[in-house]
């Protein structure tokens, strides 16, 4: 049997990451080029994982992991807008983190993630001791 060629070429992980990044940048009005690059690398990582294995359970796990990663990359306002958009676009998909308060976001240093970097842990909120 001869394999049929699709009239739609298979999108590469880079193509998927580019499209997802452009959509997020547009929706959240992101102008920072370092943040755009960070988002692209994050999307590329998850698109690559998707091409390797894409069962429903793995897709849900990737979605949850990506949401956790976005908490550390975006400002609290941007993350809230992203989550609200997700709920609007996909009302049937469970969004485990929609009701959580976004952890403190350190805006003093830009976060740049490469393809294999791990996420930093959010700073702990400790009451300051007063003398």
**Residue boundaries of the structural domains of the chain:** 13-89
Q: Would you mind telling me the total number of residues written for the chain in this entry? A: 131
- Which pair of structure tokens corresponds to residue 72? 């550390």
What's the CA gap between 131 and 117, in Å, rounded?
40
What's the CA gap between 85 and 80, in Å, rounded?
9
Taking a C-beta distance cutoff of 8 angstroms, is the pair 17, 40 a contact? yes
| Residue 43: exposure state from Cβ atoms within 10 A (0-12, 13-18, ≥19) | buried
pLDDT in tens, the chain (131 residues): 455 555 656 789 999 999 999 999 999 999 999 999 999 999 999 999 888 877 888 888 998 999 999 999 999 999 999 988 887 776 665 555 444 444 444 444 444 444 444 444 444 444 455 44
Quote the pTM value.
Answer: 0.61
């Amino acid at each position: 049997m001869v394999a049929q060629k699709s009239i739609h070429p298979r999108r590469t992980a880079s193509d998927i990451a580019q499209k997802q990044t452009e959509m997020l940048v547009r929706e959240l009005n992101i102008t920072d080029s370092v943040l755009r690059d960070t988002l692209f690398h994050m999307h590329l990582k998850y698109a690559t994982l998707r091409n390797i294995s894409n069962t429903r359970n793995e897709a849900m796990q990737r979605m949850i992991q990506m949401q956790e990663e976005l908490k550390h990359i975006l400002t609290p306002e941007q993350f809230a807008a992203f989550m609200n958009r997700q709920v609007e676009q996909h009302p049937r998909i469970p969004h485990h983190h929609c009701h959580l308060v976004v952890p403190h976001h350190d805006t003093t240093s830009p976060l740049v993630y490469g393809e294999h970097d791990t996420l930093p842990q959010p700073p702990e909120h400790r009451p300051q001791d007063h003398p």
